[in-house]
Structure 1
Amino acid sequence: MKSIKLIMALLAGLLLTSLTVSAQDANFYIYLCLGQSNMEGNARYEAQDTLVSPRFQVLSAVDNKELGRVKGKWYPARAPLCRQRTGLTPVDYFGRTMIENLPENVRVGVVHVAVGGCKIELFQKDKRGEYIKTAPQWMLGMLKEYDNDPYARLVEMAKIAQKDGVIKGILLHQGESNTGEEEWPAKVKDVYDNLLADLNLKAEEVPLLAGEVVNADHGGTCAAMNPIIATLPQVIKNCAVVSSKGLSCAADHLHFDAAGYRVLGRRYAAAMLKMMGKELPTTEEVIKNTVEASSNMHGCDFPRLDKENRAYFRIFSPDVKRLQVDICGKKYDMDKDEQGWWTVKTDPLVVGFHYYFLLVDGFSVIDPMSCTYFGCSRMASGIEVPEGKEGDYYRPQNVPHGQVRTCTYYAESQQRFRRCVVYTPAEYEKNTKKRYPVLYLQHGMGEDETGWSTQGYMYNILDNQIAEGKCVPMIVVMESGDVEVGFRPRPGKNVNDERNLYGSSFATLMIN
């Protein structure tokens, strides 16, 4: 009877082991994230930071009523990742960049435990107790959420995560509170070694990435710590340091701003991917796998477009602190490398013409790499995302071509000279006595009389339609309509009356 019970117990154990192994997804990569305020997230997150692929998950280390999260459960990794009332962290864009550059069957999960203002001693098993006795009053509430033992909470959550995936790395951002301490790398190694031991991990399979604090090039308050952080790979073999050079920061010069966190997170991902043997595409590889936008200035390689209609921008501007691309109101933070080149890849864009601007330290300007167009009530850059063959109707074909002319005339109703743009069909010069129908073609608000010919390719459309017999030869007149500037009622005036006046000169111009 005893032998039968023993056999049954062994079979049950094997079955349980089998179920555990089968539940673990080898393509679910887990990363442990720890540190102080810059890892916790000090910048206010924006709407774009709350949109995330379901392939990027966070295991909530605390209950978070703000987002309806329960400790120990997986959720889409939208900001904030740490706790209630925390902000954007490097981890937000670490995860996004990882899934962009890993196979589609791979998911990324993060376990995130951080305490603003803490020293590395808070994560040392034998130093935690003494350190907490000296912790400032404002830190006590944060510590309480981790039951006064953030390290133990990190290990607890990591063991839950290990049931679902495989721990692939550890991300650290800490050091401000230990600035100047030469022994800091040894303390970090102590934390790293304990994590490896407590989670049964192998150092050669689980690298540690440590980020620099705000750099001296942005007046970093604790920048003196960066040379010490740089020595960490001398103490931990499977380790890399992530540069903060060129990253923008908050007014306190202690924390990064949102743009800085986004770029820093992508740098963490680039370092991790490199340690996995997969580097982010070089400029040469991007050029090889993309095409120039047709709207580029002559001789400019960028912007470029890939097969999924993502746009790639690359600009050299070493002295700028923050650079963004604003496409139809969606802002993309550009990454700055240590040579001063800024790059970004957008989401897939819908086909057609898009106005865009560069935001240089918050100031909106046109891109010198792009042709310029009048739109959005000002001169703007533009990028043409091409259609497939179905877009041949607006492309030049081997057919007779008309002309687009700029004409100046005197408007009696306004007592001033005005400009209009006129299309004449290919046969116009040959049939001087023929009368043609006239189409008065009006642009949209915020554009001007050049829009339909420059952005809209109306001359190609008419040439092709006339050649195919789909429309008769005609003259097309394009005037401004006095709606170049968006509707803005004058202060103290009735809005409806103002709206009736807006663009009202157009009818008089057309009739008289």
Structure 2
Amino acid sequence: MMRQVLPLVVLLSVLFVALFSSTGSSEETDLPAKDKFHLFLLVGQSNMAGRGKVTPDDQVKNPRVLMLDQQGKWVPAVDPMHFDKPKMVGVGLGRTFGFEVADSSPDITIGLIPCAVGGSPIRSWEPGAWDAPTKSHPYDDAMKRAHKALQSGQLKGILWHQGESDSRPEQAEVYDQKLRDLIARFRKELNAEDVPFIIGQLGKFEDNPWNEAKTQVDRAHQNIAKTDDNVLFVPADGLTHKGDKVHFNAQSYREFGKRYAKAYLEFVEESNVE
């Protein structure tokens, strides 16, 4: 009897994994006209990639919110979207951001380009830089994926959440200039001088007070947004972690995605008025 049951159990397990995986061989989705396909680059470290618990609702598909999967195909955006650390990745802020922006403009389709790398310090986001834990080149890989995506649509925003790995005295001291250099590099490489660069605040958790270095990184985030009209800062007040004092929980990621979207939509509205 066991010899007959085991193969069926194995088969069902394989099918479940294939259905759940976001990096599977999904068929590519038909795309809209290039000017109606609005693209957003998702970059940074683990709190951009997402580490929240995935539920069935997080895998509901919307034909107007797509993501560029690991194979470079445009498929419906479902969590987990990122693939930097497959055993850890989960719900992030990107999918909710995409849904909110899509809801605001029924004639466009949103294309999300997930490129975040968990644990990556800002020095990993330089040309040629190697991230040993994930065996990847964060900046170079992101640029390859972005250029591929730009064949199909128009870049409308760059979403950034990073800084935890640089919240150490020596790294924090040079963080402001490194982030300014990174923004300039993205803009030049992607011909995106007027595209908003949206920075999310590091987690502010009551049971894990900031040290001086993290305060310095936050100061850099806010100062850059104050001195560059195309840089937006999104606060993280009231958001909670999932129990590890580092990563937001799924509900907070969804709320954060709404805040990113609100900042972006207000920027677009103000730009149109001007």
TM-score of the aligned structures, taking structure 2 as reference length = 0.78
The residue aligned with 2:107 is 105
**CA deviation vs aligned residue, 1:41-92 (integer Å, no higher than 9, x gap):** 11121111111311000012x2xxxxxxxx1110000011101331111112
Counterpart CA distance in 2 for 1:118 and 1:151 is 10
Which of 165, 174, 178 is equivalent to 2:162?
174
The whole-number CA distance in structure 1 between the counterparts of 2:218 and 2:206 is 12
Give SS of 1:30's match: strand
Q: Is the 8 A contact 1:221 1:253 kept in 2?
A: no
Contact 2:44 2:161 in 1 (8 A): yes
Q: Which runs of structure 2 are paired with 1:246-395 in the superposition (5 Å)?
A: 246-277=238-269
Q: List gaps (5 residues or longer) in structure 2.
A: 1-31
| Counterpart residue number, 1:154 | 142
- 2:268 and 2:173 map into 1 onto residues whose CA distance is 30
Which has the larger displacement, 25-34 or 228-237?
228-237
Q: Structure 2 residue aligned with 1:194, among 185, 193, 197? A: 185
Measured in 2, the distance between the counterparts of 1:45 and 1:166 equals: 29
> CA–CA distance in 1 between the matches of 2:64 and 2:173?
39
- The separation in 1 between residues aligned to 2:234 and 2:209, in whole angstroms, is 16
Of 203, 206, 213, the residue aligned with 1:214 is 203
The corresponding residue for 1:332 is: none
Separation in 1 of the partners of 2:223 and 2:209? Answer: 19
**C-alpha distance in 2, partners of 1:43/1:159?**
29
Q: Tell me how far apart the structure 1 counterparts of residues 184 and 57 of structure 2 sit (CA, whole Å).
A: 37
1:277 match: secondary structure: helix
Deviation at 1:218, TM superposition (A): 5.6
How many residue pairs align between the two structures?
231
Q: Of the candidates 166, 172, 175, which is equivalent to residue 184 of structure 1?
A: 175
3-state SS of paired residue (2:269): coil
Q: Partner amino acid for 1:219?
A: N
Residues 113 and 150, structure 1, Cα contact 8 Å, conserved in 2: yes
Q: Tell me which residue corresponds to 1:117.
A: 119
**Quick one: which of 210, 225, 242 aligns to 1:233?**
225
Residue type of the alignment partner of 1:191: L
Question: Which residue matches 1:57?
Answer: 66
Distance in 1, Cα, partners of 2:57 & 2:207: 25
- The residue number in structure 2 matching 1:456 is none
- Within a 5 Å distance, the mapping from 1:492-511 to structure 2 comes to none
| Structure with a larger share of its residues in strand | 1
CA contact (8 A) 2:205 2:240 kept: no
Q: 1 or 2 for the larger relative contact order (CA 8 Å, sep ≥6)?
A: 2
Q: 1:227 to 1:198 in 2, by over 3 A?
A: closer
Structure 1: gaps spanning 5 or more residues:
1-22, 63-70, 279-512
Q: What TM-score comes out, normalization by structure 1 length?
A: 0.43
Deviations 1:470-496 (A, max 9, x none): xxxxxxxxxxxxxxxxxxxxxxxxxxx
- Whichever of the two has the greater Rg, that structure is 1
SS of 1:276's partner is: helix
Query: 1:45·1:87 contact (CA, 8 Å) conserved in 2?
Result: yes
Cα 1:220/1:37, change in 2 over 3 Å: farther
Q: Which residue of 1 aligns with 2:75?
A: 75
The secondary structure found in structure 1 opposite 2:115 is strand
CA distance in 1, matches of 2:77, 2:138: 20
Query: Which residue is 1:494 aligned to?
Result: none
Distance across 2 between alignment mates of 1:188 and 1:108 = 26
Offset of residue 153 of structure 1: 1.6
Q: Decide whether the 8 Å contact of 1:38 with 1:255 is kept in 2.
A: yes
Equivalent residue for 1:427?
none
State the partner residue of 1:31. 40
- Residue 221 of structure 1 and its aligned partner are, at CA, apart by 5.5
2:20: which partner in 1? Answer: none
Q: Percent identity?
A: 29
State the superposition RMSD in angstroms: 2.1
1:354-393 Cα distance to aligned partner (Å, 9 max, x none):
xxxxxxxxxxxxxxxxxxxxxxxxxxxxxxxxxxxxxxxx
